[in-house]
Structure 1
Amino acid sequence: MSDFTVADLRRACEELWPVGTAESWDRVGLVSGAGDAPLRRVLLAVDAVEATVAEALEWGADALFTHHPLLLRGIHTLAEDTAKGALLAQLIRGGCALYAAHTNADQPEGGVSAVIAERLGLHGAEALVPGDGPRPGEVFGIGRIGSLAEPESLRAFAERIAAILPVTVGGVRVAGDPGRRVSRVALLGGAGDSLLDHPAVRGADVYLCSDLRHHPAQESLELSAAAGGPALIDVAHWASESLWLDGAAQLLGERLPGVEFRVSRLRTDPWTFSVGASDGLSG
């Protein structure tokens, strides 16, 4: 039995992922719930959606900890005939608080991009965009860039990515010569086409991220053909941001002994099937 409360969860999260390090547009921290409510079970998930809310309530969780903020964009009603209103009503009625750590969890060691870099075995990984407020000796900032222990083909690298990520309908999409040797890797967990023009990305052999749009990707590849630049690897947004949750649960458990932390294994990637997919189409 735990003597901790939701306020203790909030404090532990603030120690690990300070709200002040989130991007200015972000909406992180405690979304709903009473600070003095008892805390015995916490479910961690990428998204607060019907499935993860139901899982949290069925398990008897006192809090649902998510990466994506439910209220990131402004809303003007919590009416239960709206999707977000219905979810919040279920959580409140079920006595389950909601907490989000988003861009403040992207930047530190053990965060979203750092975990991907670690799983891929990158050496000398640094932040793509260094952030403010790192702890002494900590690599801190958006994304990571580092080198593989040995160069390998783009196809082999993409296959390793597929092996470490949970399976999704979209899989791992690659733009580049499968036989190209890659060594220098830039990556960003989540949406990443805003950094396609970043000098560090342009200087890498391959750039891994999610949600690459048609025109920015096309323009990047055209520039690479003319002046050199990275191959592109696009993976499911949910998949790229799911890997860090196990580490987050462990860190929270160390600070709140006696509280049970569980990572949801539900796939909240929105895509459910595909047709007509093919490997190596051209023309």
Structure 2
Amino acid sequence: MSSTVSDVIAALDTAYPRELAELWDAVGLVCGDPAEPVERVLVCVDPVAATVAEAVEWGAQLVVAHHPLLLRGVHGVGTDTAKGRLVHRMVRSGVALFCAHTNADSAVPGVSDALAERLGVRVSRPLAPHADGRTGLGRVGELAEPVPFAEFVRRVAAALPATEPGVLGAGEPDRLVRTVAVSGGAGDSYLATAAAEGVDAYVTADLRHHPAGEHREQDGPALVGLTHWASEWPWCEQAARVIRNAGDLDVRVSTRCTDPWTMRVGSGG
């Protein structure tokens, strides 16, 4: 018996309960018929032109994305807008779109668990726990053995897909790193939380100049700065495993880099 869109949604809702989503978030089915059969599913971070084109070209009936397409309220999806064109292309091509965002961030395992696993960090607890003490944003853990910060930054770069901005490090190269906090996506709002945890290093994305600079002045954990896309891409394989377990489905993780930065000029050495 073939799987349907609703079968895949049920599996994803079990893995990433919607009640874990932040109140401002927009998760769930964006377009498509829950009753339609599914044979191929594409998993990606961003539902953008490149990943929608990949899904259509491959013959997928469902795209599962981390980031919402329609996060803020809209009054229409006309083809005179970029997002409207995507919705029309998916509907015309018979491709449904499902998004699991902050619910996937807070679930166990979730986005930051996938990032930690790629970096060799053994997770012990959430960085910003919910009331149950188990779910929540970010993760705290440790490496099997301490390594110099410079070596840790190189490991991070090797473990994640390449982007034009690359991976940045802020800290003394010889500083030993054993305990690590990670947060997939924009995480500089948790700089003080990571410092309070007493970790040696904090890995996250979208670090801004002033918060990062003030953090360093206060002798907080060393920082490893990633692009948003690279920090959340490991989750795609985690979600793909959830979908594969839901039925006899062909599931592909998109490797198309949807990081917005496409050029870097100059070098810091």
Counting only pairs closer than 5 Å after superposition, residues 175-194 of structure 1 correspond to structure 2 as 175-194=170-189
| Aligned position for 1:65 | 64
Amino acid paired to 1:269: D
Counterpart amino acid of 2:33? A
Unpaired runs of 5+ residues, structure 2, are none
Contact 2:7–2:246 (8 Å) recurs in 1:
no
Q: How much has 1:118 moved relative to structure 2?
A: 2.0
For residues 125-180 of structure 1, give each alpha carbon's deviation from its aligned partner in whole angstroms, at most 9, with x where no partner exists.
2100112568xxxx422111112222211100001101110001111101111111
What amino acid is aligned across from residue 263 of structure 1 in structure 2? V
Residue 220 (structure 1) aligned to one of 201, 215, 220: 215
Q: Distance in 1 between matches of 2:112 and 2:249?
A: 27
- Is 1:21 matched up with 2:25? no
Residue 40 of structure 1 aligns with which residue? 39
**TM-score, normalised relative to structure 2:** 0.95
**Contact 1:202/1:230 (8 A) holds in 2:** no
When the two structures are superposed, what TM-score results if normalisation uses the length of structure 1? 0.90
The structural deviation recorded for 1:107 is 2.1
Query: Is the Cα contact below 8 Å between 2:119 and 2:156 reproduced in 1?
Result: yes
User: Does structure 2 conserve the Cα–Cα contact (< 8 Å) formed by 1:108 and 1:114?
Assistant: no
Work out whether residues 117 and 125 of structure 1, in 8 Å CA contact, stay in contact via their aligned partners in 2.
no
Larger mean CA deviation between 199-208 and 188-197 belongs to: 199-208
Q: Which residue of 2 aligns with 1:93?
A: 92
Tell me the equivalent position of 1:114: 113
Q: Does 1:195 align with 2:185?
A: no
Structure 1 window deviating more from structure 2 (239-248 vs 197-206): it is 197-206
Report the CA distance between 1:201 and its aligned residue: 5.0
Which secondary structure does the structure 2 equivalent of 1:73 belong to? coil
Aligned with 1:61: secondary structure? coil
Provide the C-alpha distance between the structure 2 equivalents of 1:277 and 1:79, rounded to a whole number of angstroms. 42
Mark the runs of 5 or more structure 1 residues left unpaired by the alignment.
Answer: none
**Does structure 1 retain, via aligned residues, the 8 Å contact 2:126–2:136?**
yes
Identity of aligned residues (%): 49
Aligned to 2:253: 263
Greater mean deviation of Cα atoms: 69-78 or 197-206: 197-206
Structure 1 contact 64–96 (Cα < 8 Å) conserved: yes
Letter in 1 for 2:166: G
Gap change, CA 1:201 and 1:54, over 3 Å in 2? farther
Q: Which letter maps to 2:116?
A: A
Question: Which position in structure 1 is the counterpart of 2:166?
Answer: 171
Structure 1 counterpart of 2:232, from 225, 231, 241: 241
CA contact (8 A) 1:196 1:202 kept: no
1:109 to partner: Cα distance? 3.0
Root mean square deviation, CA, Å:
1.6
Say which SS state the counterpart of residue 218 (structure 2) adopts: helix
